[in-house]
């Protein structure tokens, strides 16, 4: 119970905005799928189309194989948690949670029992008599969850349910939602703009950008094998360094030159990015992960070594961010000509730098020339025109 499919779903608003463009994906039964992307990329619209709160312009959405395009929200048997919680202000917690049961004409002992169960699961049994205005943000969040689970719907839809909580509570509730979903095994589609939330919660994560699905994969895959420049720049914190680079035939085979620095392209790289083989002499977009840089010791080979000056060091405690001078032009997904793959996520400065995340034990000083080792298997190559990975 609870398979959701998007088939070529398009949403165009009356004002001409295309909020969602040819969305295609399936959510498996019991899966926790996260829709992530920057604000305005069409996440909420997609979710609301599943709920029946927004008409589907073209394409189909099915739940358990049944096309739901023309069903009212009531007929879809889904539950939704809103960003603002949307608790009914004139009803107390018990009445709020019982509301879906009341609408389903379930009453008496059964209603009481199920409300009590839901309240128990969410640890709000002692709040049943209170009104929403008498609750803290976290408690309201729980009540909203309670209202969603009490009816045992086919699918949970959650639209940024944690974004109104403070950072600490957000982490706690994130854990609880994860637990709850695993216990209930109810198919869940969860929307967030926060990539950390997406990566920690999702069985699979769908990255959206300007109404277009960029990649749908497990968190590990998204991180290890981003399919587009946008995904590469969106997932990971700090995000991947992306810059203009050139593939060259070097003395020891293929190498990639970015500004004055070069790194070798080894066999592992080529097996991951076979198209790079034929790119010698061509421009590409190179991606390097901050956490794949290490201070070079004697053993590191020449091909995986770069030397540059340190611009800035940010000590974060368990790790440090080291900003390295670079004269290679940085790329944001906005510099990719073929839309839709856009927006300057990380055009943070005009100074050309590459960020490395290093262990804090042996840190270089600002202005110092350092030798760094890069894990060559973690190089990423993208087509500069389409923004797609050169696989």
Ligand X SMILES: Nc1ncnc2c1ncn2[C@@H]1O[C@H](COP(=O)(O)OP(=O)(O)O)[C@@H](O)[C@H]1O
Distance of alpha carbon 146 from alpha carbon 129, whole angstroms: 14
Q: Which residue has the tokens 């854990």?
A: 175
Q: How many CB atoms lie within 10 A of CB 136?
A: 11
Pick what 296 binds: Mg ion, other proteins, ligand X, none; C-beta below 5 to 8 Å, kind-dependent.
none
Decide if residue 68 touches other proteins (CB under 8 A).
no
Contact between 137 and 84 under an 8 Å Cβ cutoff? The reply is: no
Residue nearest to ligand X (CB): 44
Tokens of 227: 């399919």
Give the total of residues touching other proteins (CB under 8 A): 33
Closest CA to 165 of 194, 124, 203, 129: 194
* Candidates 41-49, 101-109, 287-295, 298-306; binding stretch for Mg ion (CB under 5 A): 41-49
C-beta of 85 vs 381, nearer to ligand X: 85
Q: What residues make contact with ligand X under the rule CB under 6 A? A: 13, 15, 17, 19, 37, 39-45
Decide if residue 51 touches other proteins (CB under 8 A).
yes
**Residue 24 C-beta: closest distance to ligand X, Å:** 17
Pick what 19 binds: Mg ion, ligand X, other proteins, none; C-beta below 5 to 8 Å, kind-dependent.
ligand X
Decide if residue 161 touches other proteins (CB under 8 A).
no
Decide if residue 13 touches other proteins (CB under 8 A).
no
Cross-strand pairs, 10: 58
Q: Which residue has the tokens 């976290």?
A: 138
Q: Which residue has the tokens 């080894």?
A: 266
Strands 380-382 and 283-288, how do they pair?
Answer: antiparallel
C-beta of 131 vs 352, nearer to other proteins: 131
C-beta of 92 vs 192, nearer to other proteins: 92
Which 323-342 positions form the footprint of other proteins (CB under 8 A)?
A: none
**Residue 82 C-beta: closest distance to ligand X, Å:** 12
Decide if residue 166 touches other proteins (CB under 8 A).
no
Distance of alpha carbon 157 from alpha carbon 144, whole angstroms: 12
Q: Would you list the DSSP string of 228-276? A: BHHHHHHSTTTTPEEEEEEEEEETTEEEEEETTEEEE--HHHHHH-GGG
Q: Which of 119, 135, 212, 261 binds other proteins (CB under 8 A)?
A: 135
Pick what 278 binds: ligand X, other proteins, Mg ion, none; C-beta below 5 to 8 Å, kind-dependent.
none
C-beta of 15 vs 109, nearer to ligand X: 15
Contact between 13 and 211 under an 8 Å Cβ cutoff? The reply is: no
Q: How many CB atoms lie within 10 A of CB 93?
A: 27
Which 191-230 positions form the footprint of Mg ion (CB under 5 A)?
A: none
Contact between 170 and 162 under an 8 Å Cβ cutoff? The reply is: yes
Decide if residue 2 touches other proteins (CB under 8 A).
no
How far from each other are the two terminal CA atoms of the chain, in whole angstroms?
A: 36
**Strand order across the 18-27 sheet:** 18-27, 4-12, 58-63, 66-67
**Residue 362 C-beta: closest distance to Mg ion, Å:** 44
Which 80-119 positions form the footprint of other proteins (CB under 8 A)?
A: 80, 82, 84-90, 99-100, 102-104
Cross-strand pairs, 374: 293
Q: Which of 5, 44, 187, 332 binds Mg ion (CB under 5 A)?
A: 44
Classify 95 as helix, strand or coil: helix
Decide if residue 74 touches other proteins (CB under 8 A).
yes
Kindly list the residues in this chain that would bind other proteins in the complex (CB under 8 A).
51-53, 72-74, 78-80, 82, 84-90, 99-100, 102-104, 131-135, 137, 140, 147, 151, 157, 164
Kindly list the residues in this chain that would bind Mg ion in the complex (CB under 5 A).
44
């Amino acid at each position: 119970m609870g398979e959701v499919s998007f088939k070529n779903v398009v949403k165009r608003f009356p004002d001409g905005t295309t909020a969602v463009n040819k969305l295609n994906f399936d959510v498996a039964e019991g899966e926790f799928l996260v829709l992530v992307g920057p604000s305005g990329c069409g996440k909420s619209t997609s979710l609301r189309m599943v709920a029946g709160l927004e008409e589907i312009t073209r394409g189909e959405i099915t739940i358990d194989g049944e096309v739901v395009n023309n069903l009212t929200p009531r007929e879809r048997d889904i539950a939704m948690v809103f960003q603002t919680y949307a608790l009914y202000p004139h009803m107390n917690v018990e009445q709020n949670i019982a509301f879906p049961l009341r609408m389903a004409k379930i009453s008496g002992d059964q209603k009481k029992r199920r409300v009590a169960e839901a309240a128990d699961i969410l640890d709000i049994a002692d709040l049943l008599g209170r009104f929403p205005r008498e609750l803290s943000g976290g408690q309201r969040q729980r009540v909203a969850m309670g209202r969603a689970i009490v009816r045992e719907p086919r699918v949970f839809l959650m639209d940024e349910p944690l974004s109104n909580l403070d950072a600490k509570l957000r982490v706690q509730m994130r854990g609880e939602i994860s637990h709850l979903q695993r216990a209930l095994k109810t198919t869940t589609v969860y929307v967030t703009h926060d990539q950390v939330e997406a990566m920690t919660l999702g069985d699979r994560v769908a990255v959206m950008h300007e109404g277009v699905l960029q990649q749908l994969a497990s968190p590990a895959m998204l991180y290890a094998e981003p399919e587009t420049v946008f995904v590469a720049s969106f997932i990971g914190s700090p995000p991947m360094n992306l810059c203009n680079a050139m593939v060259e035939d070097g003395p020891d085979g293929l190498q990639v030159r970015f500004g004055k620095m070069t790194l070798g392209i080894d066999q592992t790289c080529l097996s991951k990015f076979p198209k790079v083989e034929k790119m010698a002499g061509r421009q590409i977009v190179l991606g390097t992960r901050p956490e794949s840089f290490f201070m070079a010791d004697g053993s590191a080979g020449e091909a995986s070594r770069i030397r540059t000056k340190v611009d800035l060091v940010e000590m974060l405690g368990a790790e440090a961010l080291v900003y390295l001078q670079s004269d290679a032009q940085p790329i944001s997904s906005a510099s990719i000509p073929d839309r839709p793959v856009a927006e300057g996520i990380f055009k943070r400065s005009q100074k050309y730098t590459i960020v490395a995340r290093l262990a804090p034990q042996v840190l270089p000083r600002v202005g110092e020339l350092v030798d760094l080792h890069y894990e060559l298997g973690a190089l990423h190559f993208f087509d500069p025109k389409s923004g797609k990975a050169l696989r």
